[in-house]
Structure 1
Amino acid sequence: MNDDNKNINNENEEGGETAEQEEIVSEEDENTPRLLSKLREKVKKLETEKQENLNGWQRERADFVNFRKRSEEEKRELVKFANEALIGDIIPVLESFEMAFSNRKAWESLPEEWRKGVEYIYNQLLSALKNKGLEELNPPKGEKFDPNFHTAESFASTLDKEEDGVIMRVVKKGYRLNGRVINPSIVVVAEHKGENSENAGGK
């Protein structure tokens, strides 16, 4: 009899445990979709944060690369034009040489050996400046006037429409250093006055 009671009790206990386990499993089944949803949200959030961090790192890297490029370019420009003030002071010396050479009669009256020595010094100086990027701006007659490179000292009337705005004469040549104009050429520019001016001139 006692054994029968024990068996009944055991069955009752097992039945209770089974019911409890089924209840737990049932609760877990109910919670699983919610847990999965939370996990998906967490994964999505982590992926978003990862992408944002990656994008931020890429932007920072691009900014750094651009900054380094700008710094290198500024350094090159600084080196390129570091001597601009000095060269600007030397240009009048070149012009003094050329002014002396242009007075052909007076120049040729000097001793030949002396002239050769001065011309040699001039050529050395000019060559050194050209090696630093100095270029002469000495436009030929008939070239179109360009305010980026030329300064008009005066205007000369012309009857030819095609000559309007072209350079008639260079008063003083200019210079540019490494592509940048430091002294524009000073020129005389042709100016077409039109038929009314021509008729007025004829009267």
Structure 2
Amino acid sequence: MPLNHSPSVDLEKLALEHIAPRLLSAGYCYVDNVLGEEFGDKVLAQVRRLHQEGVLKDGQLAGRLRGVSKKHLRGDKITWVAGNEEGCEAIGFVLSVIDRLVVLCGTHLGQYYVKERSKVHGGILRIFPDGGSHVADVEPLFDRLLFFWSDRRNPHEVQPSYATRYALTVWYFDAKERAAAKQRFKRLSESRQDSASEDS
């Protein structure tokens, strides 16, 4: 399906005058009506198809929690999509728009330089900016794009949903933090290999 579409907003202006300043001042930012209803319907149809075909699987928890119901903590269904899969062209276009916005924010995020994407999905997203008592409830509206620091600066949770909700979720990494995490993982892997060799 060829996609002859462009966002209904000026991406450079949006990134530099709205997204980057709001991320720096409040820790989160959302933008409505980025793609337009007609194109949004194409994205929604592709996500629904993935759901109907059983591609979406139960979300997993990190670590093991004994005596805790996984469904109570995480009731979502997810799949990882790069956007170049057959039948996912509209999703791929959305990812390319988000990539472009992140690149445009580039060096305008204070000490952070976000350049690398990790990868899709999710009622209301409740954010606790700076871990404080102030709460930001962001309603999952159609064609809404939300940016926020998804780390210790913004503890967050998805409130219960009483209807089927679909969301595309993309994570990006600060270049320095990503390099440090890769180095820690490499050292941990080498340490485990050394321990296994000693036990043999």
Fold match by TM threshold 0.5: no
| Range of TM-score over shorter length | under 0.3
- Between structure 1 and structure 2, the one with the greater Rg is 1
Question: So what's the TM-score if we normalise by structure 2?
Answer: 0.24
Question: So what's the TM-score if we normalise by structure 1?
Answer: 0.24
More helix by share: 1
